[in-house]
Amino acid sequence: MVTLQEISALYEKYVMETYARANMMFVRGEGTRLYDADGREYLDFAAGIAVCSLGHCHPAVTAAIREQAGKLVHTSNLYLNEWQPRLAQKLVNHGFDGVCFFCNSGAEANEALIKLARKNGSEKGRYEIIVMNDSFHGRTLATLAATGRSKYRVGFQPDMPGFKFVDYNDVEAIRAAITDKTAAVMLEPVQGEGGIIPAAPGYLKAVRELCDEHGIMLLYDEVQCGIGRTGTFFAWQNAGVAPDALSMAKALGNGYPIGAMMASQKYAHVLTPGTHASTFGGTPLACAAACAVIDAIDQENVLENVKARSAYLVEKLSALSAKYPCVKGVRGQGLMLGIILDQPAGAILSILRENGMIALSAGENILRLVPPLTITQEDCEKAVALIDAAFAKLNA
């Protein structure tokens, strides 16, 4: 039997140390549960960082991966494959009239967004993108330069030029930053890594109007908040304000790596043959997995579940602030929730782990909860009890 000690020794010797990892190893997952090598069960409110939105090893997604893996895995984008346009059609049918470019990760999807905006603005000398403080867009050099959480850029300067930072939820700051070099505004409809900060009511509409007034593109990064996480298929649908282009990744393959950039019809032909590419982008295997994910979201009333479970969690978790002074409130949208603390989330996360529950941190003092979107009422009740008990222990 595989042991934690054996694997941890291998890791230390052979794997580059770029992650602050807990010394834990999961060997199996099913729905909302993870199991370690000793058979211990954990309630998973992290979902692989908002990735496994249908829970671990969803039967329909597993079946689609198994079937396609036995038929055809990869052919390159020099030929058609049957699943790529089917997936694009499903995404479009969920409310965004446009076309898709497929890739493999969130950062890669955002690179495509940035290239789209630059290419579109190139003839007019418009290359600057207005981005947000506290945003997170990825770890490649361009997405890092667009990331407002400046600590991630330390040691990698000089930053790629062309990004201007303003405060999130401040329309006037965007207005003041616009020049004749501005190509686009790029933002997350709910900031994730920055601390689970939703767009304020009216903000997206005002940014849309400003972009239209100046003829610049509005780009959404829906890598974390998209694909049902906030209770609508695309997060922007909560406000009803469509972008010109958007990125997604994480939950699209429920753990099978796939990312996508969608551009509206107006910008459908900005990137032409030879201007952008990805060897592994949109393989038959990745797209078959993502098609199964979208079908399951539709067939299993996942969006309704998100809304109902979210209302319960927000009510119960908000009540904890009356009991524990370190809890300052709850914010977020759908099943992308943050408990605001007066201290870093590390201590509460380790108590939760000891008691059999996995969650995450975000921003400086946020306990982030991003469970599978298929979570049951019973599991939400269990999570609330575990979180309550963890705060009681922390305060004891």
Ligand X SMILES: Cc1ncc(COP(=O)(O)O)c(C=O)c1O
Give the pair of three-digit tokens for residue 51.
């990735």
Helix/strand/coil for 24: coil
Residue that has been written with the tokens 């201590």 in this structure: 347
Q: Could you say which of 105, 182, 310, 374 contacts ligand X (CB under 6 A)?
A: 105
Q: Which is nearer to ligand X, 138 or 243 (CB)?
A: 138
Report the relative pairing of strands 182-187 and 357-358 from DSSP bridges.
Answer: unpaired
DSSP result, 258-303:
-EEEEEEGGGTTSS-TTS---TTTT-HHHHHHHHHHHHHHHHTTHH
Q: Which residues are part of the catalytic machinery? A: 136, 221, 250
Interface segment toward ligand X; rule CB under 6 A; list 103-111, 119-127, 276-284, 323-331: 103-111
State which H helix or E strand residue 368 sits in: strand 366-369
Alpha-carbon distance of 309 to 311, in angstroms, equals: 6
Nearest-5° Cα angle at 348, 345 to 46:
75
Compute the least distance from the CB of residue 36 to ligand X, in Å: 24
Q: Which is nearer to ligand X, 16 or 78 (CB)?
A: 16
Q: Could you say which of 29, 48, 98, 106 contacts ligand X (CB under 6 A)?
A: 106
Subset of 234-253 contacting ligand X (CB under 6 A): 249
Compute the least distance from the CB of residue 239 to ligand X, in Å: 17
- Position 188 contacts ligand X (CB under 6 A): yes
- Position 221 contacts ligand X (CB under 6 A): yes
How many other CB atoms sit within 10 Å of the CB of residue 42?
Answer: 20
Rounded to a whole number of angstroms, the CA Rg of the chain reads 21
Interface segment toward ligand X; rule CB under 6 A; list 134-142, 207-215, 315-323, 385-393: 134-142
Alpha-carbon distance of 221 to 205, in angstroms, equals: 16
Q: In this chain, which residue has its C-beta nearest to ligand X? A: 106
Compute the least distance from the CB of residue 396 to ligand X, in Å: 33
Interface size with ligand X, residues (CB under 6 A): 14
Interface segment toward ligand X; rule CB under 6 A; list 90-98, 101-109, 159-167, 311-319: 101-109
Compute the least distance from the CB of residue 222 to ligand X, in Å: 8
- Position 230 contacts ligand X (CB under 6 A): no
- Position 368 contacts ligand X (CB under 6 A): no
Compute the least distance from the CB of residue 245 to ligand X, in Å: 14
Report the relative pairing of strands 245-248 and 259-264 from DSSP bridges.
Answer: antiparallel
Q: Which is nearer to ligand X, 111 or 244 (CB)?
A: 111
Alpha-carbon distance of 98 to 88, in angstroms, equals: 9
| Interacting residue ranges for ligand X, rule: CB under 6 A | 105-107, 110, 136-138, 188, 192-193, 221, 223-224, 249
